[in-house]
Every structure is written in structure tokens, then in C-alpha cells.
């Protein structure tokens, strides 16, 4: 009886130790240190139209390229999801219940639709609580969203001027792969030219037709018959084939070594820098727990490409990439998730060469080729570029021109006056002394 008791007690002790160790590991696995989220804006009006577009631009109340009420609702819903995930314990109770400026920073490109998406998102993420309620019937509070001029933003804005990138992109467009694609789809592009009225359709600009029709279809405007029909012997409709082209175009633009480095690489560098500063306790303020980035489908595609996890599909509205920094047994690990729908949980992505939970040093090592050492220099812009943006250069040039014209006018005026003075015969009064 004594031996049986001793065995039972020993087994109990072993199980207790194992359960305790498993519990500690589980806690460590869920020990979140930092969250960074990049999302695309919500539903918008088309950014452009095409010559034969049956829908008039006037149907869009705020004009082209603007966030719609549907887009606001989409981002409000995404904000609610982020609140559930990081505040309400599904699965993390990481951020404070109420907004705290020293915990979260929100950045956006300088576009109406991305700024408005961020504000809509924050309405769902941080409804006012307690003393933050400033108007009883209004469940909203102003939260700052930071931005900078587009020509100074190479982190979130993917169309910033970069000569080196443009050279490599032109080479990619002239590659055998693209030439083969263009040849195989020559009939399709001719069809689109005829139907849309665009004079020259290629893999570069198919998106302008597709995007316009897609936006219109989301607002109860019927697709033209030619866009809804099945394409030849393909299993795809014309719309679906154009959508596939969009994904391929993003792949050509962003998913090559130099393109990764000069486009998505800047944001990846910022994300890694934030994680390193968090781990080394050099992040300012030290209480910062989340960075949010509101941007575009191009930004999402480029960022995923920089990590080599882009699926060559057009990121939908509110597509969201989450980069979580976890502590696993006191070792920092990175977890990347991608939500391409507001319905359902995001997918966990594995960086090539690493597990779903990737140790931070290994994550940095595996992505180092996508990180620019000096974006300005690598783009071929020169060291003065960060100080003088294109807009600043235009302003300075304009002022300089005005100053130069003023100086020239002054000199001409002085010379003219001197000439007049040289021809002037002064009036002398009569001599009354004689």
C-alpha cells in the first residue's frame, strides 16, 4: 500500500511539473511584445474611367478615388476585429481598453481614402470609454493619424520617384516572360482596346479598366455584357482574366530582388527596426505597443513581396497584414498573418526558410536582401533628396526665378534712369545780379 502510494505521489509530482512547464510555455508563446498592422483602404470610387465607360463620373458624390460609406463600414468592422484580437482577449489582452497615445501610433499615406479609412478603423478599434466620452450620444473620439507629403514618403507610397527601380521595372516589362505573356494575350488586349476605347492596352494598364468596372459593380452598376462574358475557351470571365492580370502586374512590379528592396523594403525595414528597438528597450516611448499603417493594395503587395510571401493575387479592400512580435521562452519570435477578408481569421504566413513562429534574428537574416541600406542612394537620387523633396525644389526654383527677375528689372530700371539723367538739361534761374 505504501509503495502504491509512493508511485501515485511520484506520478502526481511528475504530471504537476509537466503541466506547470507546459503552462509557462503557453504563456510565453502568447506573450505579445509588439503588434504592427498594414492594411489597404476600404471600398472607394474608381480612380479613373475609360473612354467607353457607360457610367458617368458624376454618379460618385465625392468624385473619383474617394472612400465610400461602404468603405467606412468595412474599416469600422476591421477596427472591431483588431479590438477583439488585441484588447478583448480573443486571443490577447494586450492593449489598454481605452486609447492611450503612448501605446499606439497610426500612419497613413496622404490620400483622402487612406486617412478616412484609418479614422473609420479607429472608430471601431477605440470607441470612447469612461472619461474619454465627450458627447454622450456620439460613440466616437478623435485620434491622431500621422502622414507626410507623398513625394517625401517612400515607406508607404509605392509610386515615389526612384530611377533605379524604374530601370529594373522597365527591364522586367521587356523580359522574355512578359513578352511571352503579351504575345499569348494579344487577342485579349485587342478585345479590351475595342470595348474600352483605350488606344493601347497591356499588362501595365489593364487594371484601369478592371478597377473601374469592379468599383461600379460594387455599387449596383451592371457590368457591360462584354466584361461579364466568358473569355473564349477559358474558364474565366473577362473580368476574372483582368483580375488575374492585376495580380501578375503587381508580381512584376514588386516581387523581384531589386523591386523588393526599393519598394516594400523600406516598410519592412521600419517594421524590423521597431521590433529591434522593442527588444532592446530603446523604443520611444518605451510603452509603445502597436504601429498601424493605412495604405494601398500596392503597399500590401510590395510588403508581402519583400518577405517573399505574396500570393500574386490583388489584395482586396481592408486586406490586412499583421506582424506580431512574441516572446517564446524569453526569445523574440515573429509571426506574420494575412487577412484578405473581414470574415474569418487571418492566415498565418511562413517566411521561406522559417517556421510560422520565426526567431527574430533568423527573420532579419532571411529578409536582409530586401532591406535597403540607403534608399535614396540606391535609387540614384543623391544625398540631398531627403532634405529637398520634389515639391520643395519646385518652390525654391520658383522663388529663385522671381528673385532673379526682380534683380534684372531693378538693374534695367537703374540703367534707364541713369540714361534719362544723362540727357536731362537742368533749369537755371535768371541771374538777377546783373
Q: Give the active site residues.
A: 41, 297
- The whole-angstrom separation of Cα 65 and Cα 54 is 18
User: Distances from the Cα of 248 to the Cαs of 198, 307, 311, in angstroms?
Assistant: 20, 17, 10
Residue given cell 510565453 in the structure block: 28
Beta bridge partners of residue 325, listed in sequence order: 34, 334
- The whole-angstrom separation of Cα 110 and Cα 417 is 52
Q: Are 319 and 339 in contact (CB under 8 A)?
A: yes
Amino acid at each position: 500500500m505504501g509503495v502504491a502510494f509512493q508511485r501515485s505521489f511520484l506520478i502526481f509530482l511528475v504530471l504537476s511539473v509537466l503541466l506547470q512547464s507546459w503552462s509557462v510555455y503557453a504563456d510565453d508563446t502568447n506573450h505579445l511584445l509588439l503588434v504592427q498592422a498594414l492594411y489597404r483602404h476600404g471600398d472607394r470610387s474608381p480612380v479613373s474611367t475609360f473612354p467607353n465607360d457607360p457610367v458617368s463620373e458624376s454618379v460618385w458624390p465625392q468624385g473619383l478615388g474617394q472612400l465610400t460609406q461602404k468603405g467606412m463600414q468595412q474599416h469600422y468592422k476591421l477596427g472591431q476585429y483588431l479590438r477583439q484580437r488585441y484588447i478583448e482577449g480573443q486571443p490577447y489582452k494586450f492593449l489598454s481598453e481605452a486609447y492611450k497615445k503612448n501605446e499606439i501610433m497610426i500612419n497613413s499615406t496622404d490620400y483622402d481614402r487612406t486617412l478616412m479609412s484609418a479614422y473609420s478603423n479607429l472608430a471601431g478599434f477605440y470607441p470612447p470609454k469612461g472619461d474619454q466620452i465627450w458627447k454622450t450620444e456620439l460613440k466616437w473620439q478623435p485620434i491622431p493619424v500621422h502622414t507626410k507629403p507623398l513625394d517625401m514618403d517612400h515607406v508607404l507610397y509605392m509610386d515615389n520617384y526612384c530611377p533605379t527601380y524604374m530601370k529594373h521595372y522597365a527591364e522586367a516589362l521587356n523580359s522574355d516572360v512578359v513578352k511571352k505573356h503579351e504575345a499569348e494575350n494579344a487577342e485579349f488586349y485587342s478585345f479590351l482596346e475595342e470595348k474600352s476605347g483605350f488606344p493601347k492596352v497591356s499588362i501595365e494598364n489593364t487594371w484601369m479598366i478592371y478597377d473601374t468596372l469592379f468599383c461600379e459593380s460594387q455599387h449596383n452598376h451592371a457590368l457591360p455584357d462584354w466584361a461579364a462574358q466568358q473569355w473564349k475557351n477559358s474558364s474565366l470571365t473577362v473580368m476574372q482574366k483582368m483580375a488575374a492580370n492585376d495580380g501578375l502586374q503587381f508580381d512584376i512590379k514588386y516581387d523581384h530582388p531589386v523591386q523588393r528592396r526599393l519598394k516594400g523594403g523600406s516598410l519592412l525595414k521600419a517594421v524590423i527596426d521597431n521590433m529591434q528597438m522593442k527588444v532592446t528597450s530603446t523604443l520611444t516611448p518605451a510603452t509603445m505597443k502597436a504601429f498601424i499603417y493605412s495604405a494601398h493594395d500596392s503597399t500590401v503587395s510590395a510588403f508581402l513581396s519583400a518577405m517573399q510571401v505574396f500570393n500574386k493575387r490583388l489584395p482586396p479592400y481592408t486586406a490586412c497584414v499583421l506582424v506580431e512580435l512574441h516572446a517564446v521562452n524569453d526569445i523574440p519570435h515573429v509571426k506574420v498573418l494575412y487577412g484578405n477578408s473581414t470574415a474569418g481569421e487571418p492566415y498565418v504566413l511562413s517566411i521561406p526558410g522559417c517556421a510560422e513562429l520565426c526567431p527574430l534574428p533568423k527573420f532579419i537574416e532571411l529578409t536582409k536582401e530586401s532591406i535597403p541600406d540607403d534608399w535614396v542612394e540606391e535609387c540614384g537620387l543623391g544625398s540631398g533628396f531627403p532634405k529637398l523633396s520634389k515639391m520643395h525644389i519646385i518652390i525654391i526654383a520658383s522663388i529663385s526665378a522671381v528673385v532673379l527677375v526682380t534683380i534684372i528689372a531693378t538693374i534695367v530700371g537703374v540703367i534707364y534712369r541713369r540714361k534719362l539723367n544723362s540727357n536731362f538739361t537742368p533749369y537755371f534761374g535768371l541771374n538777377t545780379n546783373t
